[in-house]
Chain A
Amino acid sequence: MEWEAVIGLEIHTQLSTKSKIFSGSSTAFGAEPNTQACAVDLAMPGMLPVLNEEAVRMAVMFGLAIEAEIGKRSVFDRKNYFYPDLPKGYQTSQFEFPIVGRGHVEIQLEDGTNKQIGVTRAHLEEDAGKSLHEDFHGMTGIDLNRAGTPLLEIVSEPDMRSAKEAVAYLRKIHSIVTYLGICDGNMAEGSMRCDCNVSVRPKGQKEFGTRTEIKNVNSFRFVERAINSEIQRQIEILEDGGRVIQETRLYDADKNETRSMRSKEFANDYRYFPCPDLLPVVIGDDYIEAIRQSLPELPEQKRQRFSEQYGLSDYDASVLSASRAMADYFERVAEVAGDAKLAANWVMVELSRLLNQNNLEIEQSPIPAEHLGQLIQRIRDNTISGKIAKQVFEDMWNGEGSPDHIIETKGLKQVTDTGAIEAVVDEIIAKNPAQVEQYRAADEDRRKKLIGFFVGQTMKASQGKANPQQVNEVLKKKLEG
């Protein structure tokens, strides 16, 4: 039987506010345990929440970016459950009236087509603390620094049909929130975490199968692998005549499999009700309009502009606009280089190759955009050849400085002095009488092939610095006598 997967994602996005959603504690990452947990975060008796205006603004920015309905009257609820990383015994979240309603995003599929993915809602809530499982005499340690960090939970429709689509959607959300500057997008630090709802059904069937939820997957690669392994697991169960149980599962990256998390499942009844310590959040049209006016250019708009303004292919434009950092880098290179297509090529081919090899993000590139732009300039003004450029590029990667500095100190400047080139050519002709004989005897077509030998020898003799076009011209003239 042919199976089809149905996937929906719940993405928890940490908003990059300075202080927590309901208290004045810092949200900075990496502090000593419990040094950024104030009386409110610790749920000391009598402590009360006051909402951070920046969290609201960021949520509205996101809503506008995905063309969603904005909840003009949103309500915070209490989600009740006991867990040591949840000091109040409830999470303050939004249930019935979220701040962001239905919206959508476009993803680009590998076959070049686009697909629209629905976003059901996005709501504001507080993050929990962290449990540290190293052994403290058989006890678990609790760090509440993260407790109260603002989260925007973005819930998708079950619109994805493969792990690849799910990753493309996650990447799109990642690029939107980083473009907006509302999340640093750092998945390794947990700034974005993803719950994947996965089910399978026979292809063509309308009803959904029973779904499972894979909790807290924290990288693009793991999302793809976790979903694929879960799809495979469910298909195997169904093909063996079994039934999938609705449950929460955890992805084990080492074993590349998901496992049941029954401990968390037992007797959950969250008893949501409106939080009486907070009042309805009411926002007006003026507020929303002001935020709309302040929105930066978004990935989709940038992609279109790149293909129109720079004449890039759809594919190139979407790769270069995928992240704000990538787009900014490319545009700077293009500006300095004075040639967008060459800039696109260098960024997407040479630079991406080294970044991938070294597992680096564009923000971590050892080559500043200005330098790459200058390198391209030197190709364009014939200071160096394309081939030498690649050598200079390697040196730049290795931290040897600006392209002009490398060209200068290594004497890589292209030789364009016709006299000097003629001297080298004369030498080559003198050294290779047999080949000269052969050339002169050949017809026009064959000569075109044979000249390559002399070009190669000349370039080699000039250590690659001779201008190839000039070499060609001089050779033709001299060989033809």
Chain B
Amino acid sequence: MSIERGDVEKIAYLARIQITDAQLDKVTEDLSRILSLVDQMQEVSTEGVEPMSNPLDMVQRLRADQVTEENQRERFQAIAPATEAGLYLVPKVIE
């Protein structure tokens, strides 16, 4: 499968990474090379093979429903780029 400039623009937006027009060709080429490596997977049949997301056959452990965390807003917001009145600030969200 080959990837084109338009695909790259689309995924760059999905990933929220700005790519300038000047960078687009180079990025498209790099990604194409990686995809041709990855495409070697298509040579083998995996019919009926259960996909594996985790190497261990473990199951999810459950936590007791207890409040264990205390308010640490001051510490967390001390490292935030922009806050006011205890809120994180971002450019205006339009709905």
Query: What residues make up the interface of A, taking CB atoms closer than 8 Å to B?
Result: 17-19, 23-26, 32-39, 42, 44, 50-56, 80, 82, 84, 131-133, 136, 138-144, 250, 261, 263-264, 267, 269, 271, 274, 276, 278-282
Given A53-B65, A133-B93, decide whether A35 and B58 contact each other with a Cβ distance below 8 A: no
* Contact, CB under 8 Å: A278 / B69: no
Binds A, one of B19-27, B36-44, B71-79: B71-79
Within 8 Å CB of B62, what residues of A?
50-53, 56
Q: Which of B68, B76, B93 has the most CB of A within 10 A?
A: B93
* Contact, CB under 8 Å: B92 / A19: no
Query: From DSSP, what is the main secondary structure of chain B's interface residues?
Result: loop
A-B complex: 7 closest residue pairs judged by Cβ atoms? A141-B87, A24-B68, A53-B62, A54-B65, A38-B69, A142-B88, A33-B86
* Contact, CB under 8 Å: B68 / A141: no
Given A18-B66, A281-B59, decide whether A34 and B87 contact each other with a Cβ distance below 8 A: yes
* Contact, CB under 8 Å: A26 / B92: no
Is B30 located at the chain interface by the 8 A CB criterion?
no
A278 to B61, CA, bound (A): 9
- Taking the closest CB of chain A, its distance from the CB of B6, in whole angstroms, is 12
Within 8 Å CB of A52, what residues of B?
62-63, 65
Give the B interface residue count (CB, 8 A). Answer: 36
In this complex, what residue of A is CB-closest to B72? A38
* Contact, CB under 8 Å: A136 / B84: yes
- Taking the closest CB of chain B, its distance from the CB of A270, in whole angstroms, is 10
Is B90 located at the chain interface by the 8 A CB criterion?
yes
- Taking the closest CB of chain A, its distance from the CB of B33, in whole angstroms, is 22
Which residue from B66, B67, B85 sits with its C-beta under 8 Å from A141? Answer: B85
Within 8 Å CB of A269, what residues of B?
14
Known A24-B68, A37-B76; 9 more pairs at CB < 8 Å: A18-B65, A19-B65, A25-B69, A34-B86, A34-B87, A36-B69, A132-B87, A140-B90, A142-B89
Within 8 Å CB of B60, what residues of A?
51, 278-282
A138 to B54, CA, bound (A): 45
Within 8 Å CB of A263, what residues of B?
94-95
Q: Please, could you name 27 A-B residue pairs with CB atoms under 8 Å apart, sorted by A? A: A19-B68, A34-B77, A34-B87, A34-B88, A37-B73, A38-B72, A52-B63, A54-B65, A84-B88, A136-B87, A138-B91, A140-B91, A140-B92, A140-B93, A141-B87, A141-B88, A141-B89, A142-B87, A142-B89, A143-B87, A261-B95, A267-B13, A279-B58, A279-B59, A279-B61, A280-B59, A281-B59
